[in-house]
Amino acid sequence: MPEKEILLIGGGGHCRSCIDVIETHTGFKIAGIIEKSGNNTGTSILGYPIIGCDNDLEILKKRYDYAFIALGQMGSSHTRKKIFNRLKKSGFIFPVIISPLAHVSKHASLEEGTIVMHQAIVNAGSRVGSNCILNTKCLIEHDAIIGDHTHISTAAVLNGETVIGSGSFVGSNATIVQGASLPDNYFFKAGGLILSKKDGRAIQDEDE
């Protein structure tokens, strides 16, 4: 089956990681990269051309059906969410991208535009929303729920039945105890620990 052409939106460091995942036999061929402005048009990233800027998206939709947001998220999800909604309105299709080096249970569900990066694990019963980043080596345990536009960073651990609100960020090597819950638009620092839960809200360790 021929590979489907896809546009990557955003040309920063996270884009490079997305390219690496997409190149590992995901069924998609990168047609080009779109950046915020047209200043870099004609240059390339890892051999893939920058073919336009945000203002070209509606025109490019006439040629390409698939798009993927390759812009990273270190805190606020506002920019990724804004781009997602714009592309959705224009009619682009957002695939789920899963590295063949990751494990995603057949009993888990992932919504459109989410990427599962190398060596990440998503176990049975987990539900992951749209436009999420499950970064390298993170662990999403059984029955966890992750809201839309959320970034679970490298090597973070979400134990069973945790709930992460939409638009949130969980930093590298953070650990969240079973059943704890984080609200929408929440920033949880790298290496942090959620020890317990109370009234559906997480209680962080004393250093927080």
Mind listing the pLDDT tens digit for each residue in 146-157? 999 999 999 999
150 contact partners, CB below 8 Å, separation of at least 6? 77, 129, 132, 133, 164, 165, 166, 167, 168, 169, 170
- The average confidence (pLDDT) of the chain is 91
CB 53 within 8 A of CB 41: yes
Q: What is the pLDDT of residue 75?
A: 80
**pLDDT tens digits for range 160-183:** 999 999 999 999 999 999 999 999
Q: What is the pLDDT of residue 205?
A: 54
Q: What is the pLDDT of residue 39?
A: 76
Domains and CATH numbers, the chain: 4-90 (3.40.50.20), 98-200 (2.160.10.10)
Q: What is the pLDDT of residue 145?
A: 98
Which secondary-structure segment (H or E) carries 104? strand 103-104
Q: What is the pLDDT of residue 199?
A: 45
Higher pLDDT among residues 199 and 138, named by residue: 138
Higher pLDDT among residues 9 and 202, named by residue: 9
Pairing of strands 169-170, 151-152: parallel
Residue 90 CB coordination number (10 Å): 12
Percent of the chain with pLDDT over 90: 81
Q: What is the pLDDT of residue 35?
A: 93
Residue 23 CB coordination number (10 Å): 15
Report the distance separating Cα 2 and Cα 66, nearest Å. 14
**pLDDT tens digits for range 18-64:** 999 999 977 899 999 999 877 777 799 999 999 999 899 999 999 99
What are φ and ψ of residue 99, in 5° steps?
-65, 135
What value does the mean pLDDT take over residues 1-28? Answer: 91
Residue 11 has pLDDT above 60, yes or no: yes
Residue 41 CB coordination number (10 Å): 16
Residue 184: closest CA among 111, 73, 77, 70: 77
